[in-house]
Structure 1
Amino acid sequence: MTLILDGKDLARAFLHLQGLTDPPGRRIGQAGVAGLIDRLGFVQVDSINTATRAHHQILFSRNQTYREDQLIRLLERDRALFENWTHDASVIPVSSWPYWRHRFARERERLKARWTNWHGGDFHAEIDKVHAHIRENGPSRARDFDSDRERKEPGWWNWHPGKTALEYLWRCGEIAVTARENFAKIYDLSERVVPDTHFHDEVSHEDFVDWSCRSALDRLGAATHGEIAAFYDLVRPDEAKAWCERESGRSILAVEIDHGPGERRRAAYARPDIEAVITNAPEPPARVRTLSPFDPVLRDRKRAERLFGFSYRIEVFVPAPKRTYGYYVYPLLEKDRLIGRIDMICRRAEGILEVTAFWPEKGVRLGGGRLARLEAELSRMARFTGMEQVRFADGWRRAPAVQA
């Protein structure tokens, strides 16, 4: 008989698996931050810094004693993490390096063909040159290779050949990010960045697929084979499907997820202890918390909408007149409910965190208690970002959100 999981129960279990039911005020040290990232699987890195960058916000949402220099030390000093690609640029536990070797092998030919279509073939001749320069000169930046070329408009579509060669070598695991300066990547040879204890390890293709799928399912709780494949973006959907079919009834469970009246039950797979995970998932903290638009809970937008009834679309690339909300709007979590989204920006010259708009979800009322919890979260955000005060713009309280 197929196990049926209630969608609301799964949503709460997912929050627990993703670290959002832990006490957010309990002090966390270096080992705790490393353990949190391992628990998440990875943390997406992004350059947008309206209030704070995504990787820092993701960690701060889960533990509000976290500080940015903790992640920097783990990356640049302790080498407990490396930076590479999942579905996007991410920081990843260094113990996962052997599995990423399989991704690197796949990327070599795929990226060379794809980027030749985008950028032309000029970067091919730069690959050996760039690699040799780093081998001989050590840590290097993009400006070390393209400083004599005419500047172009920013964007991956306008990379110079040297920059393209750097990104290619990084995505293929030949070089690694050793540090960042003003968020610009500084590269060195991977063998000089990744500790020997992990750099030389290899795993079979079968073990790679098994780890990729099992590790993803452990962090999702229950998911379709497509969601499992998309979690790390390491294996193809057909590989995940074959793994699920092989392991179903052995080490994982075939389940159906019930998302409520009027919704078709969704066939999926679950970790074998999913019922215990659901039963033992703690009540999420009552405080309001700001999530990054790239939070792991929201990264799969369709799955997030099914689990939480929250439709989210990033509008960074939407022309301003066509935006429903704003350039970079933060979702707000209260207990296990996404209650709205907020537009805010650090006016760093003034030391002010300015709130320009808050849109509640349908049925969410900003009463006195909730307003106090929101203000407390904004005060925490101000302290985290180094701002001295919070300022609310005129008309910041908006009508309930429309579906994005």
Structure 2
Amino acid sequence: MTAPILTNTRARHIFLERHGLTSRPSGPGKGADLAAAIDDLGFVQLDSVNTFARAHDLILWSRRQQYRPAALQNLLHRDRQVFEHWTHDAAAIPIASFPHWRLRFQRDEARLANRWKDERRDDFMSKTEEVLRRISDDGPCTSGQVGKDESRGSGGWWDWHPSKTALEFLWRSGQLSVLRRDGFTKVYDLTERVIPDAFRAHQPDTQDTIEWCCVGALDRLGFATSGELAAFWDNVTPAEAKAWCATALADNRIIEVDVEGVDGKLRRSFAWPEVMDRPVAAPVSRLRILSPFDPALRDRKRAERLFGFHYRIEIFVPAPQRKYGYYVFPVIEGGRLIGRIDMKRDRTVLTVTAFWAEPGVRMGGGRIKALEVELDRAAVFGGCEEVRYAAGWVR
């Protein structure tokens, strides 16, 4: 059947609007304003890499340039407006979403108990009761405060001692929650002592959660395949999302559209009926530096289809073979991704090594000046006193 065509320009504008990247990054960036920004996005991925700023902080700063990292910590630890758990990765999630993570807890408990018994060393399940009793009796703890008589592994990120694995298992299955982070170290406590009663009391059934996940994902993406809906929260299966789409389509709740890629190819997707008619403002021409984990870029294939922007983090590429630095920051101007920048914070200096423009992007004097202005703003955010440019930094 013929479906209406969502042009590439309109698709970009809708997508960027849903990701908070069409208007100027104004607002206080704390309290209720910050909580609303996170709710608009659905969640904010947490990541420990800190060459300039942690991923979650840069994601929020690019939308609220008065934002400072303490504001997110206050929402998590003091105000309980967000909680920390898993989507496709660790994330800060609005507290109102907590009831729909119960399905995630149930499924992770069964899945990880089976998978980790082979992937993690020793018998971590034998430590769960001991860890729970330790926290119940003595209060919150970190992974360094349990299993002190257990040997620490040296085999990489996932070579955990058994009690550390037990802690993570209890967290992923919902029995423990992250009370706060000290630096980037998780401090765990019993869920009933962390999550407010009102959000723990609500226990939706599986179909309610599938509905909530698919509706919420489509709201935040603007258009999507069933697979993209499933992947957004990573809380429902592709089969469940596909069945939801079929039912919603039959009930005329959603429509099919053909989304035009930057290459002119069409991709059949689902959308709300008003997607073709609702006014959508073009993005302001403001230039912004984005996190490599920005939600607008998380699906690398979608970013390439919509924007023609091929982006990968070259962590595991040997230095001589890297085209760019291993961890470079995407740069967006209005509705166009114009390049990527290699920069890092060295105490009070923001060092800019290189900027690579995308094909067809001309780096004239005005655009370079706009980039330098944004780098000055970034330096303030990062606590730097100056920006230092390498010779020939515009490549």
TM range (shorter): over 0.9
Segment drifting more, 17-26 vs 160-169: 17-26
Match of 1:251 among 245, 250, 253: 253
Could you say which residue in structure 1 is the equivalent of 2:376? 379
Amino acid in the other structure paired with 1:255: V
Deviation for aligned residue 1:377? 0.6
**4+ long deviations beyond 6 Å:** none
Deviation for aligned residue 1:273? 2.3
Secondary structure of residue in 2 paired with 1:353 = strand
Distance change >3 Å, CA 269–CA 203, structure 1 → 2: same
Could you say which residue in structure 2 is the equivalent of 1:363? 360
Cα distance in 2, alignment partners of residues 85 and 322 from structure 1? 33
Deviation for aligned residue 1:162? 1.1
Q: Is 1:334 equivalent to 2:336 in the alignment?
A: no
Could you say which residue in structure 2 is the equivalent of 1:391? 388
Report if aligned partners of 1:8, 1:259 keep a CA contact under 8 Å in 2.
Answer: no
Which structure 2 residues correspond to residues 1-400 of structure 1 after superposition, within 5 A? Answer: 2-153=3-154, 155-249=156-250, 250-259=252-261, 263=265, 265-277=266-278, 279=279, 281-348=280-347, 351-398=348-395
Report if aligned partners of 2:82, 2:92 keep a CA contact under 8 Å in 1.
Answer: yes
Cα distance in 1, alignment partners of residues 219 and 208 from structure 2? 16
Cα distance in 2, alignment partners of residues 155 and 176 from structure 1? 24
Cα distance in 2, alignment partners of residues 123 and 62 from structure 1? 41
Cα distance in 2, alignment partners of residues 179 and 132 from structure 1? 20
Secondary structure of residue in 2 paired with 1:255 = strand
Deviation for aligned residue 1:347? 0.3
Amino acid in the other structure paired with 2:254: I
Cα distance in 1, alignment partners of residues 263 and 31 from structure 2? 45
Determine what percentage of the aligned residue pairs are the same residue.
51
Query: Which structure 2 segments of 5+ residues have no match?
Result: none
Could you say which residue in structure 2 is the equivalent of 1:401? none
Report if aligned partners of 1:256, 1:268 keep a CA contact under 8 Å in 2.
Answer: yes
Report if aligned partners of 2:150, 2:162 keep a CA contact under 8 Å in 1.
Answer: no
Cα distance in 2, alignment partners of residues 260 and 361 from structure 1? 14
Secondary structure of residue in 2 paired with 1:106 = helix
Distance change >3 Å, CA 119–CA 28, structure 1 → 2: closer
Cα distance in 1, alignment partners of residues 300 and 382 from structure 2? 27
Amino acid in the other structure paired with 2:322: R
Cα distance in 2, alignment partners of residues 29 and 292 from structure 1? 19
Amino acid in the other structure paired with 2:374: E
Deviation for aligned residue 1:121? 4.5
TM-superposition CA deviations, 1:162-187 (whole Å, max 9, x none): 11111111111111111111210000
Distance change >3 Å, CA 120–CA 35, structure 1 → 2: same
Deviation for aligned residue 1:154? 6.7
Distance change >3 Å, CA 387–CA 178, structure 1 → 2: same
Secondary structure of residue in 1 paired with 2:384 = coil
Secondary structure of residue in 2 paired with 1:131 = helix
Cα distance in 2, alignment partners of residues 344 and 171 from structure 1? 34
Query: Which structure 1 segments of 5+ residues have no match?
Result: 399-404
